[in-house]
Amino acid sequence: MSDEPAGTAGRPRRLRVVLVTSTVGLLAMVGAAVLPGTAAAASTLGASAAERGGRYFGTAVAANKLNDSAYTTILNREFNQVTPENEMKIDATEPQQGQFTYGNADRIVQHALSRGMRVRGHTLAWHSQQPGWMQAMSGSALRNAMLNHVTQVATHFRGKVAWWDVVNEAYADGGSGARRDSNLQRTGNDWIEAAFRAADQADPNAQLCYNDYNIDNWNDAKTQAVYRMVQDFKNRGVPIDCVGLQSHFTGGSNYPSNYRTTLSSFAALGVDVHITELDIRNAPSDAYRNVVNDCLAVSRCKGITVWGIRDSDSWRSGESPLLFDSGGNKKPAYNAVLTALNNGTAPTTPPGGGCTTSVTPGTVWGDRYNTSVTVSGASTWTVVVAITRPQTVSTTWNGSASWDGGNSLLTMRSNGSGNTFGFTTMMNGNSGARPQIRSCTAG
């Protein structure tokens, strides 16, 4: 393994997007009803989050519930980001060594991407939910099997997953600040950075996150230990883009009053922060409102994912920790979250002259598909879109196009044709990947 800084190897450089951008859901589907002459508040979580600097509001999704119309009605209406709850885990994707199964994960990804929702991949390397063959392994055989798993799965979902939880829950609870003991940890302390480098090689366009629970309270030893790891990775050029705070305020863990300090402290290291698995015992409106306000206060907090839709979907259904009751009705916490999002002062145009984008999937043919992108927050703009090989763009409209990065980066500049541009992508044998917006710059 090389210790050279990211970006010096002879492969496409990971794009470190400085300006805030967004790929949001179908605004036409999830947006607010707009009354003539008034700026109506958004009426759904995803649409409102998108208006706050291009953030997302997402949920964990279980493949076996996609046939439940009560479930998908709420999913499709409210959320513009999806995390497969169990379907991308190691036991699901590689049940036998070298035999990969993606059916359930692919169903969720297809459901999301066809509706303009972004996907968080969860998770590539974890001590838990390992298949039996992996649990029985150790040493270099395990290290190699783990790296192969990361490579294969990240390659399969290349161009479809916006963020990966590359490594999940690698630190111990309690006051030690130590790594969690596991078969992966016993392969050597560098297993985490090795996983990140393998994921970076497999999908240079995905944003790569470290994800954990009980790293919400800034004073906790576990939080400090993860902070120091991220700081070390940034110093040494290990390709890490983001930290996921699971934020399970269930099972006796509470929302801490210094949560905003934790978010902003991680962000100050130069990584984005994501609230990845939020649920709160008995769903108090105050705590949910505080989480939203804390995220909106930190420009690098890119979005919030709740860990399920209805209380009956929760891994801790006995604590009724979610935003919808088991009948699919909005709970008081839902209204608190939507109101906090709508009242948020986080700007539509991020500081530094950015703009935001919303992506609308268009017609899909056998060999190609259309995409349109609407820019907000700037009347003249430059938007960079990453295309996943072997897909290529054959036609663009309502903007002037140029190419970079071995023709995998499409730059579209406003040309006086309005704020919605579009393009046709040839699949060339990859029917699943979808364009990923990399940046939006005013001017």
Residues annotated as part of the active site: 277
Residue nearest ligand G2I, CB atom distance: 315
Shortest CB 283 distance to ligand G2I, Å: 16
Residue 149 vs 438, nearer CB to ligand G2I: 149
Look at strands 207-212 and 163-168 and give their pairing. Answer: parallel
Residue 51 vs 165, nearer CB to ligand G2I: 165
277 near ligand G2I, rule: CB under 6 A: yes
Token duo for residue 256: 């801490």
Residue 86 vs 110, nearer CB to ligand G2I: 86
Torsion of CA 407, 202, 109, 437, to 10 degrees: -40
Residue 128 vs 394, nearer CB to ligand G2I: 128
Nearest to 379 by CA among 420, 429, 411: 420
Shortest CB 248 distance to ligand G2I, Å: 6
Which residues on adjacent β-strands are paired with residue 57?
Answer: 304
Shortest CB 150 distance to ligand G2I, Å: 17
100 near ligand G2I, rule: CB under 6 A: no
E strand or H helix at 297? helix 285-297
The residue from 21, 104, 246, 411 that contacts ligand G2I (CB under 6 A) is 246
Planar angle of CA 131, 133, 138, nearest 5 degrees: 110
279 near ligand G2I, rule: CB under 6 A: no
Contact call for residues 393 and 411 (beta carbons, < 8 A): no
Residue 277 vs 319, nearer CB to ligand G2I: 277
Site for ligand G2I in 15-54 (CB under 6 A): none
Look at strands 400-404 and 409-413 and give their pairing. Answer: antiparallel
The residue from 27, 48, 81, 85 that contacts ligand G2I (CB under 6 A) is 85
The residue from 43, 72, 86, 201 that contacts ligand G2I (CB under 6 A) is 86
Amino acid letter, 72 = T
Distance CA 91, CA 12 (A): 31
128 near ligand G2I, rule: CB under 6 A: yes
- Print the binding letters for residues 196-235 with ligand G2I: x by CB under 6 A, - otherwise: -----------------x----------------------
Nearest to 108 by CA among 90, 123, 86, 129: 86
Shortest CB 24 distance to ligand G2I, Å: 25
Distance CA 428, CA 431 (A): 8
Residue 60 vs 346, nearer CB to ligand G2I: 60
Contact call for residues 387 and 424 (beta carbons, < 8 A): no
Shortest CB 385 distance to ligand G2I, Å: 31
Residue 251 vs 362, nearer CB to ligand G2I: 251
Number of residues in contact with ligand G2I under rule CB under 6 A: 9
**DSSP helix, strand, coil percent of the chain (3-state; round to 5):** 30, 25, 45
- Print the binding letters for residues 362-391 with ligand G2I: x by CB under 6 A, - otherwise: ------------------------------
Q: Please, which residues have CB within 8 angstroms of residue 141's CB and are 6 or more apart in sequence?
A: none
The residue from 43, 72, 129, 231 that contacts ligand G2I (CB under 6 A) is 129
Shortest CB 389 distance to ligand G2I, Å: 31
Distance CA 259, CA 272 (A): 15
315 near ligand G2I, rule: CB under 6 A: yes
Which residues on adjacent β-strands are paired with residue 368?
Answer: 426
* HSE, side-chain direction, 13 A CA sphere, residue 258: 12
* φ and ψ at residue 402, rounded to 5 degrees: -145, 165
Distance CA 5, CA 96 (A): 35
Shortest CB 304 distance to ligand G2I, Å: 15
The residue ranges that bind ligand G2I (CB under 6 A) are 85-86, 128-129, 168, 213, 246, 277, 315
